[in-house]
Structure 1
Amino acid sequence: MNSTVCPKCGNETPKLFQGRCKDCFLENFTLAEIAPVLHAKICASCGARNIRNKWINYGNLEDIVIQTAEDALFVHEIAEDIEIYVNPRELTPHLYRVHIEVDAMLLDEIFHQELDTEIRIVRESCDMCSRISGGYFEAILQIRATNRIPAEEEMKECINIANDVMARMRSKGDRLAFITHSLDIKEGADLYIGSSNVCRHICKEIVSRVGGSFNESESLQGRKDGKDIYRITFSLRLPEFMPHDIIEHKGRVIEVRKFGKNVTGVDVETGARFIGTSDELEGATLIAKRKDLQKTMLVAIENNDLLVLDPDTYETVTIKKPVMFTAEAGTEIPVIKTEKGLLAVADKSK
């Protein structure tokens, strides 16, 4: 077997470790090291952690303390199969004592070392919270509806969608995904948003889920570091009609069921399914909202006909039975008067 001589002790050894035999190498060997005092910078408002001058959304305070210790821990480069155990203990809201145990395989032996450090919590204001408190925004989202005032439930849905989009983008590291402030007005709402890119994602998500359209326009606000600074206004228009609006479109009476990328509905007279785009509904007119429909007595059902009382004259008239009609004689049913005459409106769940 080939061997060499240790330059420190002069003994023969089959292998040198950093220029020494195994015994000489282990005399001053340290498996792991950590500084006696560490500092963890945390945002006092949102709890983000500062790592190398970059703010990152993180978990709770204990998670940050553990990660701070692990990041600062040095384990010898030739160690293998390393296992680290970190046990933090809170002394005060600003001070943690952390006990660390390290196990590793080295030179065919298992080494164990225990260390202790102190982590001091430094609370500052992160870039995002500083911008919010300073009123920073790059974009204005104007939420309106076409030819009407948005309903309260629509506005709540739009705000919820905006918050969902921002939460997803913050989880991916976008520190400008925030609303600086909002302004409720009669025609809708204005949201002042930290990033134009975030605002664009919000608009696309709302249009995809609720329907409508949006456009954007930019205005020059000034210059910084030799670059033009622009602010973008996003004009979001919700659809002219809402789910369960009953409209007249190209001679058909349609109850709108859902808006999104496409508009779906039901022909009140025939029960046929309607699918189209918002552009295809251009020129349609609102006849009534389902909640405002008149109710009248269903006298009898004869095959595909219904005998009902005219809600205005109280005369018995015969009208066509809608598809999926489930009401029974002697009950009240919703009806609507159109140019085609009186029409029964089927259950909205059908």
Structure 2
Amino acid sequence: MTEEKIEQGTCLRCGRVATLHRGLCIDCFRKSSEIFTIPDYIDLTVCRSCGAQLKGKHWEYGGELKDIIEDEIHSSLQELSGVEVSLEDIEMRRGGEGLYHVEVRAVALFPGGGVIPTRKALTVRVKSSLCPRCSRIHGSYYEAIIQVRGSGKDLLRQEEAVDRVLERVDQIARGDPMTFVTKLVKVRGGWDIYVGRNQSARRIAQEMHRLYGGDYKVSSKLVSRREGRELKRFTYLVRLPPWRRGDYLLKDGTPHRIEGFQGRRVKLKNIETRREESVEISSVETLAHYPSKEVEMEATVLYTSEREIVIMDPVSFAEVNIKKPPGWKRRESVKVVRVDGGIYLL
């Protein structure tokens, strides 16, 4: 808004003494001038599937139609010099197909404190189209498949992994609309997730492999050639291991906690010695497995001696002596692992 000199004086039209704007009082100025202008028509191209708007040569995703129209009105509004216009409300009424009749209610703020409510009407013409993203989705387009496979004994973890894939697709799609899920298919042994962008599928599959461990394989298939370039579809297999991070395996008679996975190897921590080791998953697949939620418990500390902690077995309520670890400090309860009749301090 351009600053203008505020002065008191006699209105050139009605003769009233008042604050003047270009020689006129506010009432006379309102009758003689348009305080702000907007086009009679605004033309929009909007995706009929997701509501994205075409601006120039680019599609903008997100936002409701009313918000899009408000943005267009704001950008096309022209204020009279010296007047600040504040849009108060925009009312939309559906007309014919692709037509919206819009009434804009605004307040004009004049230097010196004058306020004038005003209204304008316009028509918005909306052309319906399909954005590239929705066009691909409707055409069942995909560049890659993420295959989630796992043990039939742990279907819940398979579903958890699939949910994580879908969540990551949504997150990446906020910055890359061409990342989307075309379809989700339940198959024997797991799920197939069809993804619109290969780079995103590869990224997500690698993240899943780092998180869950197990098997990870990549394969591709030639689907066509275009302008001398080979177009391939990729398949990323993520085979979940039979255990979760934090679970326990009974190895050499002692519980070992699963600390993490790296490819086909699993990192284990001996609960008694605290030593860690990395072994091939295939070498420990037959070991007894104990989910952490079933064997980790709180135990009450009854008393301590110089070398031992005496706790109450949380299942049998018997007294159990455990070697006191270095640097141990007195507390009322401790977290323990109860495996195969033995109790181990965490």
Q: CA deviation at 1:155?
A: 1.8
Number of the residue aligned with 1:344: 342
Closer, same or farther: CA 30–273 of 1 in aligned 2, 3 Å: farther
Q: What amino acid maps onto 2:180 in structure 1?
A: F
Corresponding residue for 2:136? 131
What whole-Å deviation, never above 9, does each CA across 1:48-91 have from its counterpart, x for those lacking one? 22222432222222211212223444679xx7997652632121
Alpha-carbon distance in structure 2 between the residues aligned to 1:224 and 1:235: 27
Q: Relative to structure 1, is the Cα distance of residues 114 and 298 closer, same or farther in structure 2, using a 3 angstrom cutoff? A: closer
Which aligned pairs between 1:255-270 and structure 2 lie closer than 5 A? Answer: 255-256=256-257, 259=260, 267-268=270-271, 270=272
Q: How many residues align?
A: 281
Alignment-derived partner of residue 228 in structure 1: 230
Distance of aligned partners of 1:130 and 1:246 in 2 relative to their CA distance in 1, 3 Å threshold: same
Distance across 2 between alignment mates of 1:186 and 1:41: 44
Runs of at least 5 residues in structure 2 that lack an aligned partner in the other structure: 1-21, 24-32, 296-313, 324-333
Percent identity between the two aligned chains: 21
Q: Give deviations 1:20-68, integer Å, cap 9, x for gaps.
A: xx99xxxxx9886532111333323322222224322222222112122
What SS class does the counterpart of residue 283 from structure 1 fall into? helix
User: 1:287 maps to which residue?
Assistant: 287
Q: Which residue of 2 aligns with 1:47?
A: 51
Give the counterpart of 1:87 among 86, 89, 103. 89
Tell me the TM-score normalized by structure 1: 0.63
Letter matched to residue 47 of structure 2:
C
- 1:34 equivalent among 38, 62, 65: 38
Residue matched to 2:28: none
Give me the whole-angstrom Cα distance separating, in 2, the residues matched to 1:80 and 1:150.
Answer: 74
- Tell me: CA distance 1:131–1:287, structure 2 relative to 1, closer, same or farther (3 Å): same
* 1:203 corresponds to: 205
Deviations 1:222-275 (A, max 9, x none): 1234432121111223234334643255x463344564679676535x2x5465
Q: What's 2:148 paired with?
A: 143
- Following superposition, the deviation at residue 199 of structure 1 comes to 0.5
1:136 deviates by 0.3
What letter corresponds to residue 203 of structure 1 in structure 2? A
1:166 to 166, 169, 187: 169
- Is the Cα–Cα contact under 8 Å of residues 269 and 277 in structure 2 kept in the other structure? no
Residue 217 of structure 1 corresponds to 219
5 Å matches for 1:61-72?
61-72=65-76
Please state how far the C-alpha of 1:195 moved relative to its aligned partner: 0.5
Q: Give the RMSD, CA atoms, in angstroms.
A: 4.2
Please list the CA deviations of residues 125-183 of structure 1 after superposition, one character each: whole Å capped at 9, or x if unmatched: 322222112110001111124xx4472222222222222222222221x1221111122
Do the aligned partners of residues 164 and 75 (structure 1) sit closer, same or farther apart at CA in structure 2, a change above 3 Å counting?
A: farther
Unmatched 5+ residue regions in structure 1?
Answer: 1-21, 24-28, 306-322, 327-333, 337-342
Tell me, yes or no, if the aligned pair for 1:150 and 1:187 is still in contact at 8 Å: no
